[in-house]
Amino acid sequence: MNRSLKIKDAQGVEIDMGRIICGGSSKLMLDGAYDESYLRWLVDHHVNTFDLARVYGNGSSEEHFGRNLGNIRRSDIVIITKCCHPKYGIFRRVDRQSAIEDVQASLKAMGVDYVDLVLLHRDDERKDIGEIITFMNELIVRGYTRAIGVSNFSIKRIKEANDYAKSHSLQPFVVNEPQFSLVVRKRDPWHNGSKSMNGNEKETNVEFFSKNNISVLCYSSLADGFLSGKYRSNDNEFKKHLSFCSRYAYYDKRNLEILKRAERLSSSKHVSLPQLSLSYVLHQRCPTAAIVNLSSIQRAEENLGALDVDLTDDDIRYLENGNQ
């Protein structure tokens, strides 16, 4: 399995991203309970990509990250941030001024001159897509970012944006960041427009991203703990142990059956449930990476083991629907 995901910046230069990405919304990153040595360990083990956002901890995630970079060379890491998250989770603010102000605040918080990738955190389908792709390109022109992408966008809107970019000599969106995991998210736990690549439209999504060479960075790749392996599906109190988001978004009969199959297959392959689940995310027919909460070196080592788990087409079919 390829251990890196390569995207091209506005100058055609490759950005080499590790396929296991450190998520910036974890308690560890929000609290800043780590130091330069932890980041150095991650980078040395090819976890070189950090998925941050202005909204995470109201900026605290970025501030802690910047403070703990220490002497790590900027060229050794890939920094992602996001702009224009809805205010209070519901009020849309997808506009040029918000994008510029958010990214400027992110750069200041981290103490860096640029980031590698800026994602528009949510869409506002009332807004003209040409206006959106134009102000996102301005972030490149200003030198704030090397490339642009989106998070929680429909493929319809991504296609419209990139068609507009092509016809107006602008840079396209090269990345989408949706929710995606082995189990199927049945509803949005935040009720603010987050999108999943899973469900009935999965194959359509995968085909689109593959055909257009758009990389997919998958958040909640362990389904907010549903696939953590901390508790087994046959535990009578399994549901009780889940977080609210995990219960609300994933707990149903279909996903429990998928979980049971994953437990059996991981056991037969002598790997952990998280390793198998992350390997599934990385074995899609479009370019993918998995965003995970790396709360410790031990957790990071386990998750990195997913890169060594081989899944056949039969394994994928078995996990998804029980057929081989």
Q: Which domains does the chain have, with CATH numbers?
A: 4-226+273-312 (3.20.20.100)
**Which pLDDT does position 224 carry in this prediction?**
95
The pair of three-digit structure tokens given for residue 204, joined into one six-digit string:
């359509």
Torsion of CA 220, 226, 227, 231, to 10 degrees: 150
**Which pLDDT does position 190 carry in this prediction?**
83
Phi–psi pair at 176, nearest 5 degrees: -125, 140
- pTM, entire model: 0.96
**Is residue 282 within 8 Å of residue 289, measured between CB atoms?**
yes
**Which pLDDT does position 89 carry in this prediction?**
65
The pair of three-digit structure tokens given for residue 270, joined into one six-digit string:
């002598």
For residue 182, give every residue at least 6 positions away whose Cβ sits within 8 Å of its Cβ, in sequence order, or none: 223, 227, 258, 262, 277, 280, 281, 319
CA pair distance 121, 98, nearest whole angstrom: 12
Digitized pLDDT (tens) for each residue of the chain, 324 residues in all: 999 999 999 999 999 999 999 999 988 999 999 999 999 999 999 999 999 999 999 899 999 999 999 999 999 999 999 999 988 766 889 999 999 999 999 999 999 999 999 999 999 999 999 999 999 999 999 999 999 999 999 999 999 999 999 999 999 999 999 999 999 999 999 888 899 999 888 999 999 999 999 999 999 999 999 999 999 999 889 999 999 999 999 999 999 999 999 999 999 999 999 999 999 999 999 999 999 999 899 999 999 999 999 999 999 999 999 976
The pair of three-digit structure tokens given for residue 197, joined into one six-digit string:
């690549």
Helix 155-167 with 202-211: angle, nearest 10 deg: 20
Instruction: Detail the DSSP E strand segments found in 109-201.
Output: 115-120, 145-151, 175-177
Neighbours of 264 (CB within 10 A): 12
**Is residue 318 within 8 Å of residue 258, measured between CB atoms?**
no
CA pair distance 96, 298, nearest whole angstrom: 41
**Distances in whole angstroms, Cα of residue 77 to Cα of each of 44, 89, 240, 303:** 10, 29, 38, 19
